[in-house]
Structures are given as C-alpha cells and as structure tokens.
Amino acid sequence: MNCLLCADVHLKEAEKAYCLFVLNELVFLCEREKCGALFFAGDVFDSRPDAEALRGDFRACLDRLSPDVRVFFLPGNHEELRASGMPALESLDFGRARLLSEKPFSFEVLDGSSELLALPFQKDYSDYRSWEVPPKTGALRILLAHGTVPGITYTGPEEDDDGGVLDADIFAYFGADLAALGHLHGHSVTAFGKTCVAYPGSARVWREGEAGPRQVLVFSTDKMPPRPRPLALAAAGEYRVVPVYAAPGGDLRGPDEKEMAGWKAADWLRLEVSGVVEDEVPVMDALREMQAGLKKKFRRVTQSAENLSVLQGISSHPLARRFLEKWEKDAGRYSASGDAYFLARLKGLAAIKEILEGKK
Ligand SMILES: [Mn+2]
C-alpha cells in the first residue's frame, strides 16, 4: 500500500483560500500516487478556533478522495491553541479523517503487512516504558507523532519551545521502522538505528524563513526498509528572500520582470533592502511602495531594512564620488542578473563609510 505523509498544514481561517489550495493539492497527490492511506502528522489546523471554522472545508476536500483511502489525523500542539471555551476536538466532525487523539497512544493494524502506533502531541512522553503497546507483528511498524527528537533533528531557537520532546529511544523501544513525524517545519529523512526518522516539513509556508520547496513524503508499506520519497507542493509556493539595492540618493533596484517570471502568486517575498544612503525616510517610503505593488501579485510580502545604513553627505564626498563614477563605468563587466554589481556598490560604500567615520 502506498501512503502519503504530510505535516503542519496549519489550516488557518485568515489565510483560507491559500490553505485550502494546498489541501487540495495534497488530495490530488494522494490520488495520483494511488495511496491507500493519508497521514496528517499534527498541526492540521493553526488553532482550535481554526479547526472549528474550517472543519467543513476540510471534510469536503477529503470527500474528493477515492472511497477506499483511509485518512488519519494526529493532533499536534496547535490543535490545542486558543482552545479554552472551545469545543473539544473529539466533538468536532472531521468527516473521513480518523482522529487519533487518544493519549498516550492508539494502535491499529493497517493492512496485512503494516501497523500504526500513533502518539498525539503530549508535553511529556517520558513514561513510555509503562505504556502497554502491543508487540510488533506486522512487517512494518509506523510510529506517527508530533514533536522534536534531540540528537537527530535540529531543535534550535526558531522552533516552538512547548515540550513535545520525543526521546529517540522510543523508536527502538517500540520497534518502529518508520517514525512519521510532524512539528519541525524543515524537511529531513534520517536513519537512526533501525528506524527511518522522517519529517516531511510544513506543507505550506507558515512563517518567515521557511525557505525551499514545501513537501510531502510518499512511501510503500510493502518495501523494507521504507524509503520515503519527497514530492513538492506547487500550491504552497515558496519563501523568497529578495535583495533590494538602495542607491545613495534613495533610488531602489528591486526584482525585475525577468527575475519574477518563475515566481508564483502563492510565494512569500521578503524584501531585504541594503545600501549606504543619504536619508532613510525616502528609501523606506519607496520600499513600502514597492511592497504595496508586489502585494497585488504575491500572497505575502514582508520587508527588512537591517542592512540599510545612513551617512549624510556620502554621495558628495570626493572619495565616494570617484568610487561611484568607476562603479557606473564598470556596469558592462557584470552579468545580467546584476546582484554582484549592486553588491559591489554596497561593499564599496560601506568601506568608504567606515573610513569616513574613522573606523579604519
Ligand atoms: Mn507546526
């Protein structure tokens, strides 16, 4: 049986159209790959109110799957967010999706050759040795969970610090062949002992910095060891850092039509303006104008001016003027993409600024 594993879809009412676009693609890929099971490894919804608001759309989308496809919905930490005063997750109708919320685990035989051990998100899993998990009988045991694994995956500062730490020994202790995981939004497939530890990564761009294609994993329960294969989600778009170069006088050079040709409406652009300028105010005005224009074409456009520095008189100083004259004459020596050319101006002016400020 082929299976599709996805995680961290974070369906959110405020971004409904985009989120459902991604969910539709998940369903499409599940059908195309002839999958018999679809696993959601936590954070299907961005919060409990989002689960309540979007469950009907979620149900309707899943109804488009072939009748024999089984859908499993493991709750993550986000299903618990803003949950006070909201209905219990178990009281909401998720249609075809079977909610695996039983703590500390639930267990079932999937088909003749595989079995599923599901661990919904818990702050603490440390008593796992006291759980009465049935001994492994199938050829393939899938452990579905939502959390971080110290020593295997990077658990740096950008991830939520809200518990959910899975001791890697859990996988060996329960004889898991495949740990199908959510929570970390980066993609990784790692061998750990006899277990393949697989994070598809977030199925959509959820926050700043989630670069690279968003993916799901496809694997077969008939093959040992399981080798999950990533598939990119076109509907999710990509997070792109877009350099914007400010001239000393304030003119901005942003992405041109040619560069943007391959970008999608679902993309999230982060405009990073850099330069040594006379005055910050007109630069920021121009940047916001560029941002507003791009917002009409792309899902989200954010900006940063961390690499912008101000030095009054930079463009009229003789040293800077000589440098800029030479820089302008050198235009033809640089490639069409232009980044190196504009970076040369940035580096040159930054060095001159240091000299003028007496740092060198
Ligand atoms: Mn998440």
Same structural domain, 231 and 243: no
CATH number at residue 66: 3.60.21.10
| Ligand 1 centroid to residue 272 C-alpha, Å | 26
Same structural domain, 92 and 165: yes
Residue after which a domain boundary falls, among 213, 235, 257: 235
Least confident of 144-158, 191-205, 238-252, 336-350: 144-158
Same structural domain, 109 and 147: yes
25 has pLDDT over 90: yes
Provide the domain count of the chain: 2
- What is the residue range of 47's domain? 2-235
Same structural domain, 161 and 219: yes
| Ligand 1 centroid to residue 33 C-alpha, Å | 25
Residue after which a domain boundary falls, among 214, 235, 256: 235
Q: 275 falls in which pLDDT band (50, 70, 90)?
A: very high
| Ligand 1 centroid to residue 311 C-alpha, Å | 42
| Ligand 1 centroid to residue 121 C-alpha, Å | 11
Same structural domain, 170 and 268: no
d(CA 36, CA 3): 6
Q: What is the pLDDT of residues 304-330, one digit of tens each?
A: 999 999 999 888 899 999 999 999 998
Residue after which a domain boundary falls, among 190, 211, 235: 235
Cβ 229 vs Cβ 217: under 8 Å: yes
| Ligand 1 centroid to residue 181 C-alpha, Å | 11
In one letter, which amino acid is 49? P
335 has pLDDT over 90: no
173 has pLDDT over 70: yes
155 has pLDDT over 90: no
270 has pLDDT over 80: yes
| Ligand 1 centroid to residue 307 C-alpha, Å | 30
Same structural domain, 56 and 157: yes
Quote the percentage of the chain above a pLDDT of 90. 86
Q: In what order do the strands lie in the sheet with 178-182?
A: 106-111, 114-119, 140-146, 178-182, 195-199, 188-192
159 has pLDDT over 60: no
d(CA 348, CA 344): 6
Q: What is the pLDDT of residues 191-248, one digit of tens each?
A: 999 999 999 999 999 999 999 999 999 999 998 889 999 999 999 999 999 999 999 9
Same structural domain, 42 and 185: yes
| pTM across the whole model | 0.92
| Ligand 1 centroid to residue 342 C-alpha, Å | 37
Same structural domain, 225 and 283: no
279 has pLDDT over 90: yes
